[in-house]
Structure formats: structure tokens, C-alpha cells
Amino acid sequence: MTKCRFDDHAPDGPVLTPYDDDHLSDYLRLLDAEEEGSDWRETVVALFKIDPTAEPARAERMHASHLARARWMTEVGYAHLLGHRDALKR
């Protein structure tokens, strides 16, 4: 699977998307960074390759949007992922 570039906004719908599937490991990186207490600006540089000084609004939006989606994945999305994977096995 080829990793696509990041959209400025992560999906926010109630179902898993191909974008989510492409970025599962990135969502985990975001959650890990938050758990470790990393500065969101450092995370943006490392993950999205965006300079938060040059593009502060965009960087903050991207971080917030993708972190929200990462949290959704831990609360709801994982069930869709498991169901999707089970359906593929049949």
C-alpha cells in the first residue's frame, strides 16, 4: 500500500475511509506523541513535515483534525476496522 500525503483535514465521518486505512500508523504516532507529552509543534514537523512557524494555522488545524480522528479510531473506528478485516476473511 502506498502512503498518500496528508490532507489538511482528516476525515470526520462515521465510517472508516481509505484515508484512515492509509494513515493508521500515523494515528498511532499522534496518540503516542500526545501520551508522551510531546509539543504538538514538534509532532507536526516530524509527522506532517510542516513548519508550524511558517504555517501556524494550517499546522494546528492538521494536528487537531488528525488527533481527533486518531481518538475516534480508538473509541469507534477500531470496531469498523475489525468488521472490515473479518469481512475480508470470508
Domain limits of the chain? 18-89
pLDDT in tens, 27-49: 999 999 999 999 999 999 999 99
pLDDT in tens, 74-83: 888 877 766 7
Q: Cell 493508521 appears where?
A: 24
Task: Flag whether the pTM goes above 0.95.
Answer: no
CA distance 70 to 26: 8
- Asked if 31 contacts 80 with a C-beta cutoff of 8 angstroms, the reply is no
Residue 47 to residues 16, 19, 26, 85, Cα–Cα distance (Å): 21, 15, 7, 26
End-to-end CA distance of the chain: 21
